[in-house]
Amino acid sequence: MTYRADRRIHTSLCDLLGCDVPILLAGMGGVSRWELAAAVAEAGGYATLGMVREDPDLIECEVTALRAATSRPFAVNLIPAATDTGLLDAQISRCLDLGIGAFSFFWDVVPQAVERVKEAGCLVLHQVGSFAAANEAEAVGADVLIAQGLEAGGHVHGRIGAFALAADLLRETRLPVVVSGGIADGAGLAAALAMGAAGVQCGTAFLATDESFAHPCHKARIVHASAVDTVLTDVFVLNWPAGSAVRVLGNSVTAALGANLLGHDPKKLPREPIAWDGDAARLRYSTDSPLRTTKGNLEAMPHYAGQGVGRIGDVVPAAVRLRRMASEAAELLARIGSDSSNKGNGA
């Protein structure tokens, strides 16, 4: 299938970002490394390197490896509100030195960060969880708004559904709106495009792929989980601002909380190492998820997953996941168009 030629799923966002299909890889910290980003980009989607709080030298290594694997465009994901100002400055400086042309930001809107990269001529995709945050992002120069819903895996900033938020944004903005949260197949993509959104962003669907840097145990849990297995909690908050909720698959840590899933103060949580990535300790209650390189008590770490997890039944190459989504969406939109035409003709 030639995705570029299928006008049902090719949107203006594809032209803006330089991709063939409006399917974005979420900038999952630790997981969306160069191998996964390259696979998504080569398959026709838009890739995002997840470089949250990473050392600038690692960012340079990842960018270099990604560029060696693909000539397709991509963004680098940073989270200004959850990053020390000195490190953030160094991250942005290194990205600009490397000629990065697009940034994906998330959490609270930090005007200085957006304005700095915009002044350098970069595109800015800003993920938001509320109408107010979207207004802030647009006011400081964002080019694309990613409407993240409560269904999303990983860090969740808002408290309403993705499609409800996207509908609000579409009524008020001229910017492209991308739907993110619980989308794992072509039906989600078709629904987003049918409502007027410019595309979708997916995390969980790409975490369960061969190229993802997630640990095999995390991928396996996703394959065998359903939406009811996910919980929203802020107990995995070390390294992030207080109150930062995440959607994860339930485990021994969340089970021990009972109904007290929210309201945890990171200052009162113990700093107990339970796993390691090389010499780096991974603490109980931290936001670190198990990666290929992680050893230790992996079960007690957060296994991020969105509510679309029940529609992911296997671990496959990222290109297979993306092409399934694109093909399913194109077929659904064609069917909708055919049904509408038949009704209009009195069939």
Does position 338 have pLDDT exceeding 80, yes or no? no
Answer yes or no: do 260 and 192 share one domain.
no
The answer to whether the CB of 9 falls within 8 A of the CB of 333 is yes
User: Are 40 and 182 part of one and the same domain?
Assistant: yes
User: Is 175:160 a contact under the CB 8 Å cutoff?
Assistant: no
Q: Report how many domains make up the chain.
A: 2
Taking the C-alpha atoms of residue 264 and residue 86, their distance in angstroms, rounded to an integer, is 27
Q: Same domain for 175 and 290? A: no
Same domain, 112 and 174: yes
Percent of the chain with pLDDT over 90: 94
Domain membership of residue 346 (yes or no) is no
Q: What is the pLDDT of residue 8?
A: 76
Same domain, 188 and 104: yes
Residues 125 and 230 in one domain: no
Query: Is 163 a residue whose pLDDT tops 70?
Result: yes
Select from 214, 261, 213 the least CA-distant residue to 237: 261
Q: Are strands 177-180 and 154-156 parallel, antiparallel or unpaired?
A: unpaired
Instruction: Looking at the structure, tell me whether residues 96 and 130 fall in a common domain.
Output: yes
78 and 147 both lie in a single domain: yes
Q: Which domain holds residue 57?
A: 9-213+313-334
pLDDT at site 6: 67
Angle at the Cα of 319 from the Cα atoms of 301 and 9, rounded to 5 degrees? 110
| Residue 3's pLDDT band (cuts 50, 70, 90) | very low
Q: Residues 198-215, buried b or exposed e (16+ Cβ, 10 A)?
A: bbbbbbbbbbbbebbbbb
Give the pLDDT mean for 285-298: 98
152: domain CATH number is 3.20.20.70
pLDDT tens string 100-117: 999 999 999 999 999 999
For residue 347, being part of any structural domain is answered with: no
Question: Is 35:62 a contact under the CB 8 Å cutoff?
Answer: no
Laid out side by side, the sheet with 294-296 consists of 280-283, 273-277, 294-296
Helix (H) or strand (E) holding 105: strand 102-105
Query: Would 232 be classed as within a structural domain?
Result: yes
For residues 282 and 138, membership in a common domain is answered with: no
pLDDT at 101: 98
Confidence (pLDDT) at 1:
39
Give me 204's structure tokens.
């969980």
Phi/psi at 297 (nearest 5 deg)? -80, 80
Does residue 183 form part of some domain? yes
Asked if the model's pLDDT at residue 223 lies above 60, the reply is: yes
Give the residue carrying structure tokens 């003709």.
345
Residue 55 sits in the same domain as residue 101: yes
| Site of tokens 């991250």 | 91
Instruction: List, for residues 6-57, the tens digit of each pLDDT value.
Output: 677 999 999 999 999 999 999 999 999 999 999 999 999 999 999 999 999 9
Q: Are residues 161 and 104 in the same domain?
A: yes
Is 67 a residue whose pLDDT tops 70?
yes
**Residue 345 falls inside a structural domain:** no
For the chain, give the number of residues: 347
pLDDT tens per residue across span 238-250? 989 999 999 999 9
The answer as to whether 73 is a domain residue is: yes
Report whether 282 contacts 238 (CB < 8 A).
no
Residue 237 included in any domain: yes
Residue of 48, 40, 50, 44 lying closest to 18 (CA atoms): 44
Residue 344 lies in a domain: no
Supply the Cα-derived Rg of the chain in whole angstroms.
19
Average pLDDT over residues 196-217: 98
305 plus 323 within the same structural domain = no
pTM of the model: 0.95
